[in-house]
Amino acid sequence: MQAAWWYLVGEDPHGPVPVEVLEAMLQQGEMTRQSLVWKEGLSSWISMAELWTLRQDQGRQPRPAPLLDLPLAGAWRRFLARVVDIGIVAAPLLLLAKLLPGFAPWLQRPGSLHLLALALLPLALLVEAGLFACLGTTPGKSLLKVVVSTMDGQGLDAAQYLRRQLGVYGYGFALGLPFVGLIAMLAQGLALQAGEPASYDACRFTVRAQRLGRCRLLLLAGLGCALVGAVVLR
């Protein structure tokens, strides 16, 4: 069983967490080499620099996972990847709904669009989790080259991704409630802009971005123009 470590933020202890989480926080700038940590059996708090030296002496210094070498994904990159995923998944669900008798007249009623969004959002997130389980990524993340991993740089399994989706649904979209969901998305976006993790990722997952090549940027620009044109000509 891995040793459980505690770390200080100001004068407040937080934890317990595995040592790999501490090392990931150090690499992300959430801690410094002077930050104090402790585990049961130590007589006093030690610095991250001392912990690093200790692990070197024990011959257990971990090799950094390749994913941890990537920069953190920005708020807009993550938002666009999410929009693509939800759009790709929700479109077939919407087409199936249109085949139901009486759907078109119901859609004209006041408030029906809000109810439809409330119904489609959790289904879209669930189907997206299924795609991730099968493909190891999602269309939006593949297109925008966004990579979700654990704090120690390991890829997510299906269960972990589903738990993350539940967090996205609850904390990122506020269950899809009108207006409240917009506030939740804005709050998460501002946290990312400030260099902080989204609340559903904190101390659990990290989201990083690979470099976008010129061809991929042109493709994204073309898709964006096509989408804008479709909305204008609708």
Domains of the chain are 5-62 (3.30.1490), 68-170+208-232 (no CATH)
Task: Among 24-28, 138-142, 160-164, 176-180, name the one with the lowest average pLDDT.
Answer: 24-28
How far CA 35 is from CA of 30, 32, 44, in Å, comes to 10, 5, 13
Backbone angles phi, psi at 111, to 5 degrees: 85, -5
Model confidence pLDDT, tens digit, residues 55-98: 666 555 445 456 677 888 999 999 999 988 988 888 887 787 77
Q: Which helix (H) or strand (E) holds 206?
A: strand 205-209
